[in-house]
Amino acid sequence: MNALAATNRNFKLASRLLGLDSKLEKSLLIPFREIKVECTIPKDDGTLASFVGFRVQHDNARGPMKGGIRYHPEVEPDEVNALAQLMTWKTAVAKIPYGGAKGGIGCDPSKLSVSELERLTRVFTQKIHDLIGIHTDVPAPDMGTGPQTMAWILDEYSKFHGYSPAVVTGKPIDLGGSLGRDAATGRGVMFGTEALLNEHGKSISGQRFVIQGFGNVGSWAAKLISEQGGKIVAVSDITGAIKNKDGIDIESLLNYTKEHRGVKGFDGAHPIDANSILVEDCDILIPAALGGVINRENANEIKAKFIIEAANHPTDPDADEILSKKGVVILPDIYANSGGVTVSYFEWVQNIQGFMWEEEKVNNELKTYMNRGFKDMKEMCKTHSCDLRMGAFTLGVNRVARATVLRGWGA
């Protein structure tokens, strides 16, 4: 089942639990707007190259739409639609005043020079500048993009609308980016894990963790969890996988990956088959890489008692059922990885106020939001006698549905 089919299925299950009528259900599912634009740029060698840029704006009942811009050669429309929809529910679960969006450009950023990427970003911004905005749609970095991309969008947008730092988040600090944004998703994963374990009478200290993916989210989660006394026994990334049953020294691994661009060859652990990472013996499994990695083929082999979904849609519905029967507790992605968008919201707020926060305030506010989100999700679980995934979906869908009806948009 692809990401869109799985997201639609979860939405429809939540809709039935909430008793939404079919007209309202349909209006919540259909995207507000889908944008597709041609972006032609001169390359460094003087030839012209054309790329397709896109933006799916899913819902704006609760506020401006929010979501990443990715640069990737295989941009799959269904996946983008699914991720835009997930952002709608995720922002509602986090109780921040946004709707969902997603977009990007079909290109391979590794094959473009910095000046070509800049030209491409500026042309894309020229095509969509009147469809995004501080109170309309606020992009952020995603796969293949980063703070520099956001800086180019901000500059190009400002040529048309005046200096507008709040039009994008995930910016460089010098252009109004927020302290604590880089670690935000990983820190949110740690706070969410803490809240879940507290509910089960446990703490992070002494628990054994396996983390699939050692990019921004996985590496920050590993660092922060190990600082809380958690034992990281196995880690993987695109270069390979490593294991040390006594716990990996995360500080040393972070230094190693900076120099060698991957975990492969780290001498503080022994190499293992990357395909076995999800089924390694541990207490808590954190998939922090790609979607669809936990499926019916490997779900029965998973030994973890808890799964924290740091990636988007890492568990497919078949695996959900198998794991549920095994008694595995899954902390769903639309709550577990919402730390990033929450601190993006803080960045937007700081830009609008023109008043920047200290990092300690950012981190404390994030903890408050993550703890409140967990409490609200558990309340929905009790109300509807459902698991955490349906608790999160009913919470998010209900908040968007109420805003839709209150604004008079109910069909």
43 annotated ligand-binding residue:
no
The first and second tokens of residue 38, run together, are 């041609």
d(CA 261, CA 271): 16
Q: Which residues of 111-150 are buried (b: 16+ CB within 10 A; e: fewer)?
A: ebeeebbbbbbbbbbebbbeebbbeebbbbbbebbebebb
Bridge partners for 235 per DSSP: 211, 242
User: Catalytic residue among 12, 26, 102, 326, which?
Assistant: 102
CA distance 15 to 27: 12
216 marked among binding-site residues: yes
Q: What is the 3-state secondary structure (H, E, C) of 293-327?
A: CECCCCHHHCCCCEEECCCCCCECHHHHHHHHHHC
Active site residue 102: yes
Determine whether the annotation assigns residue 185 to a binding site: yes
User: 149 a known binding residue?
Assistant: no
Contact in structure between 169 and 344 (CB atoms under 8 Å): yes
What single-letter amino acid sits at 317? P
Distance between CA atoms of residues 402 and 407, nearest Å: 9
Is 337 annotated in a binding site? The answer is no
CA distance 206 to 195: 16
CA angle 223, 227, 230 (to 5 degrees): 90
Q: Which residue numbers belong to the known binding site for NAD(+)?
A: 185, 216
Q: Which residue numbers belong to the known binding site?
A: 66, 90, 185, 216, 344
Q: Which residue numbers belong to the known binding site for substrate?
A: 66, 90, 344
Which residues are known catalytic residues?
102
